[in-house]
Amino acid sequence: MDRYSRQILFKKIGESGQKEIGKKHAIILGVGALGTHTSETLARAGIRKLQIIDRDYVEMSNLQRQHLFTEEDAIKKWPKAEAAKNRLQQINSDVEIEAIVAQADEVLLERIIEDVDLLIDGTDNFETRFLMNDIAHKYDIPYIFGSCVGTFGMAFTIIPGETPCLQCLLKKLPLQGQTCDTVGIIAPTVQMVTAHQSAEALKILSGNRKAVRKTFVSFDLWENEYVSLKADALKSKDCLTCGEDCTFPFLQADSNMKVAVLCGRDTVQIRPVDGVPILLEQLADRWRSAGFEVGGNPFLLSIVKEGTRVVFFKDGRALVHGTKNPDEARKIYHSLIG
């Protein structure tokens, strides 16, 4: 019995739709709550290739809603993209999976975007979403937006040249809204968003563009509310992402070190733009001989300095925990890595 037999039996997909899915390549940007769910569904569905991008590592507080990860992943602080890849390959060894442990910036996306059929939103911030929105339109690739918090969620499928884009809908980068780290979230909310994202993904990947949902879905699972909203009126000719004179403003790179306070996490991320790889083993040796306690794994180093925990990744990026002060974080970063 073919492993995809039940999907092929669904006649809107059928043999021909299954063949199409088996030729397709998607990028899932962020493998936290949303991205672990959509990547599992697409791997099980028999997509040809998945690139999964995440800058973070697994923590115990992720396990409540982030599929694919186990307690062991959290104890080892395994990078999310690598931990997800391990599990996805156990689920379907035929799918080509590339784990990318990095911040998804314009440089990275421009490098890997060739030959991509679909972009799926698994991120937790609108800066990255606006970047995806720009990339999607520059390269004419469908982009499936999703976000959620508490028991409230939303999903919308953006088809360049047809639907309004994320900038048309939101105009500008939203002021900080609610995040999972400030008001919490329950796992079914995630699943409701990803059920919609994955259904739209399977329509697009199987060649059923006409079946794609044209409305913006929003729901509250606690309040038992579900709305499906037409969005056409918001499509703007003047939009800088999808309008007549588009400039893709979120693809214009800065040239400095990027420092970001991670919302609600009491953590600052520091990231050199060119991302010269750092040599973790060499650094670990140096720090240990200086008397520091150093932990980690082949993908990252964890060090405690003056009560502050800092985690370094191979691309030179660091997470400075226990602070929201960028300058303080910069100082600790520089004191450790020069």
Query: Which stretches of the chain bind its own copies, using CB under 8 A?
Result: 1-13, 37, 40-41, 44-46, 59-61, 63-65, 67, 69-72, 90-93, 150-151, 180-189, 191-192, 194-196, 198-199, 202-203, 211, 213-215, 221-224, 226, 228
- Applying CB under 8 A, the site for another protein has a residue count of 48
* CA 320 centroid distance within chain: 21
CB of 100 or CB of 154, closer to another protein: 154
Rounded to 5 degrees, what are φ and ψ at 311? Answer: -115, 125
- Check binding of 33 to another protein (CB under 8 A): yes
Q: Does 30 bind another protein (CB under 8 A)?
A: yes
Q: Give the nearest distance from C-beta 56 to another protein in angstroms.
A: 12
Instruction: From the list its own copies, another protein, none, pick the one residue 126 interacts with, judged by a Cβ distance below 5 to 8 Å according to partner type.
Output: another protein
Residues 284-313 within binding reach of another protein (CB under 8 A): none
Pick 111 or 172: Cβ nearer another protein: 172
| Three-class secondary structure of residue 266 per DSSP | coil
Write the DSSP string, 284-320.
HHHHHHTT--EEEETTEEEEEETTEEEEEETTS-EEE
- Mark 196-231 as b/e (b = at least 16 C-beta within 10 Å): bbbbbbbbbbbbeeeebeeebbbbebeeeeeeeeee
To the nearest whole angstrom, how small is the minimum distance from the Cβ of residue 302 to another protein? 25
Q: 8 touches which of another protein, its own copies, none (CB within 5 to 8 A by kind)?
A: its own copies
169 binding another protein? (CB under 8 A): yes
Sequential DSSP letters for 92-146: -TTSEEEEE-S---HHHHHHH-TT--EEEE--S-HHHHHHHHHHHHHTT--EEEE
Q: Is 95 exposed, middle or buried (0-12, 13-18, 19+ CB in 10 A)?
A: buried
Chosen from its own copies, another protein, none, partner binding at 335 (C-beta under 5 to 8 Å by type): none
- Classify burial at 306, counting beta carbons within 10 Å of its beta carbon; exposed 0-12, middle 13-18, buried 19 or more: exposed
Q: What phi, psi does 117 have (nearest 5°)?
A: -95, -20
228 scored as a contact of another protein (CB under 8 A):
yes
| Given 152, 287, 312, 333, the residue binding another protein (CB under 8 A) | 152
> Which is nearest to 236 in space by CA: 246, 221, 251?
246
Q: Which does 266 bind (CB under 5 to 8 A by kind): its own copies, another protein, none?
A: none
In whole angstroms, the minimum distance from the beta carbon of 82 to another protein comes to 19
State which residue, 167 or 302, has the beta carbon closest to another protein: 167
* HSE-CB for 338 with a 13 A CA cutoff: 5
- 187 or 253, CB closer to its own copies? 187
**Binding test (CB under 8 A) with another protein, winner from 148, 201, 284, 310:** 148
Region 36-75 residues binding another protein, contact defined as CB under 8 A: none
Task: Give me the phi and psi of 259, to 5 degrees please.
Answer: -120, 125
Binding site for another protein (CB under 8 A): 30, 32-35, 121-126, 146-150, 152-154, 169-172, 174-180, 183, 185, 193, 215-216, 218, 220, 223, 225, 227-234, 263
